[in-house]
Chain A
Amino acid sequence: MVEEVVTVDMPVSEKIVIRKNRIMSAKLSDDAKRLSIVTGIHGDELDGQYICYELNRRIKEHVELLNGIVDIYPAVNPLGIESCTRGMPMFDLDMNRVFPGMENGATAEYLASKIVNDIIGSDMCVDLHSSNIFIKEVPQVRVFDQFKDKLMPYAELMNADFIWEYRINTVLEATLANSLNHLGVPTLVIEMGVGNKVERRYGDQIIEGIFNLMIELGMWKADKTTVRKPMISSEGSITVIHARVTGLFMAAFDDGILKKVEMGEHIGDIVEPLTGRLLHRVEAPCSGTVFTFREYPVVYEGAILCRIFGGGVHE
């Protein structure tokens, strides 16, 4: 059943409408659980669009297996998605910096508060993000260390390749996930792929994780599946390679994600189109597994090229 969570009139003949689709089992027991799947806070992150579609489709196909309520919010920032903009296009404002919002605040804060209030009451929430257009990320769960005791058991169910325990900074306090965690709804942040694109295999991987989570929560009547055993950031070290110089980054391999590299291995070259010069040969400063890799080839000095996870790798 499609419901309108909040609407706001725009100047000319149109409303901002944030919708959700609620799928319920025929019978709801007293202890029936409710899972919320949220995506599209950032308009340039589209993997969640596919995941919402496929999750809807698969649950409806076997709705007899469902026990509880699944709420799917495919577009928290609908204007951003339809204008290829990360934030809210009219304010150039990152919507994931205004939560939990304010009922009587400015438009973004008003929308945020309505969304948060609608999600409250869920037993669990999954907030789906993609990376931006510049770097590609392995499917991963991001867990703020403040909530890790509560969230890690769930994070490990998600069929992700990596779990990144984050030290929260003040700016991230105003994210949807952090606000919900504070308000008592355990919320997992999933990050994957690259901006403006759907990577179907990553989507399928995370959908397996969501079903696995539902099985664990008693919301999906099926046998437990085996999921990937993720690398966990706290069990190893993260090394970031930044561009030393401005230029065009030509990767040494097609898809760097999950590539195992040795210390000193060639990662790519930064070159100069105007003169044909090789400006910098990029080599791995350590051995490990690549979980972030440059997607957009034009780099200024300082741009992130690659992140490598070393140690604690599960084979």
Chain B
Amino acid sequence: MNKKELYTLKGFHREDFTITGYSFGSGDKAACIVGAIRGNEYQQMYICSQLIRILGELEERGQITSNNEILVVPCLNHYSVNVQKRFWAMDNSDINRRFPGIHGGDTTQNIAAELFDSIKGYSYGIQFTSFYMPGDFIPHVRMMETGHQSPSLANLFGLPYVVIRKPKPLDTTTLNYNWQMNGTCAFSIYSNCSDYIDDVSARQAVASVLRFLTRMGIIKYYNHSGYIAHVLDEDELMAVKTDTAGLYRGLKKPSDPVFRGDIIGEVIDPYEGEVINQIISPTEGIIFFAHTAPTVMENNVVYRIIRRLHE
């Protein structure tokens, strides 16, 4: 295990901002794994920390295949983590909207550019990331449809689902998109949550990466073969929305099966306590995403359902 500083920015009155990477094995740039880019991606950082611990053990036991280098960057933005801000603490810019970055650009463009120099050129790029709306997901691998994506490789993580997303303008500045444009085969892994640590889901995420690295011949590791993934297009997910705003009580969780007509959530009058709206499942299928915040607005997406899929 080789701990190295990938980037340093001098602080003003804070300590210097340093991005730390851990590399394992040596030789060809095989895989790069990136954790928290936003300050609230605790689960993502935790998963990376567990991977670093295990990869260190594997390396000591000679289980990294020769001529393969793995780089893990657990956190790109501890300045934000430490002050509990989601984005760059000074100007609220999102580093995951700054790629591929600009050398000599403003601070976060420059951070993205310098960091991209360290993490590009790998055969595989794996990023643990989060969604902008509060909620829980079925753990899945997400790929952007750039023309360079390969769902068959995404399947090798052995997670239950692979989601293909058509990039929107906003996506073109993410790490995932720019990795792909740069020739790295890039995957985003959505664990079920961000803001808190969920050990079960973290173990699943760690296992999925080790499984992928094993199948690509980068490490030697003996683990369960996981799922044969169900591949779906993001557009196939059916959004279920609220008609009414208020306090919210979700009745289903990700992976739960639902039937047409099931009551899957309730909106409660925030002052008078009555249930003022029942959320009815418009379809049968499996819950893919569930809103978790205690309140909803009018027209809030509270579920995304994989239609007509059975367990």
Contact = CB atoms under 8 A, between A and B. Distances in A.
Interface in B71-92: 86-87, 90-92
Contacts of B92: 86, 92
Nearest to B239: A104
Interface of B: 9-13, 86-87, 90-92, 97, 104-107, 109-111, 132-133, 168-170, 172-173, 239, 244-248, 270-271, 295-301
A135 B152 CA distance: 47
Nearest to B17: A300
Contact of B12 (A107, A247, A302): A247
Contact of A8 (B168, B239, B248, B298): B298
Interface stretch (A25-33, A167-175, A213-221): A167-175
Contact of B11 (A91, A97, A246): A246
Interface residues of A, number: 37
Nearest to B97: A171
Given A246-B10, A301-B10, A132 B169 contact: no
Contact of A174 (B11, B168, B298): B168
Contacts of A13: 270-271
Contacts of B295: 11-12
B248 to A, nearest CB: 8
B181 to A, nearest CB: 11
A93 interface: yes
Interface in A234-269: 242, 245-248
Contact of A301 (B9, B172, B173): B9
B110 A301 contact: yes
A302 B107 contact: yes
Contacts of B245: 8-12
B265 to A, nearest CB: 14
Interface of B, secondary structure class, is: loop
A173 B168 CA distance: 10
A9 B244 contact: yes
Interface in A89-141: 91-93, 97-98, 104, 106-107, 110, 132, 134
18 contacts: A8-B298, A11-B245, A11-B270, A11-B297, A12-B245, A12-B270, A12-B295, A97-B170, A170-B169, A171-B172, A242-B106, A246-B10, A246-B12, A300-B12, A301-B10, A301-B107, A302-B109, A302-B111
A81 to B, nearest CB: 16
A301 B244 CA distance: 47
Given A11-B245, A171-B169, A304 B12 contact: no
A11 B296 contact: yes
Contacts of A93: 132
A91 B94 CA distance: 13
A62 to B, nearest CB: 41
A116 to B, nearest CB: 15
A16 B300 CA distance: 13
A274 B271 contact: no
Pairs of residues from A and B, 6 with the lowest C-beta to C-beta distance, nearest first? A11-B295, A9-B245, A9-B298, A302-B110, A246-B10, A302-B107
A170 B9 CA distance: 28
A303 interface: yes
Contacts of A303: 106-107
Nearest to B114: A302
A248 B11 CA distance: 11
Contacts of A171: 97, 169-170, 172-173
A65 interface: no
A300 B90 contact: yes
A298 interface: yes
Contact of B87 (A92, A134, A246): A92
B169 A248 contact: no
A26 to B, nearest CB: 38
A274 B13 CA distance: 8
Given A93-B132, A104-B239, 7 more contacts: A9-B298, A12-B270, A13-B271, A107-B297, A171-B97, A171-B170, A174-B168
**Interface-centre pick from B110, B172, B247, B297 (highest chain A CB count, 10 A):** B297
Nearest to B298: A9
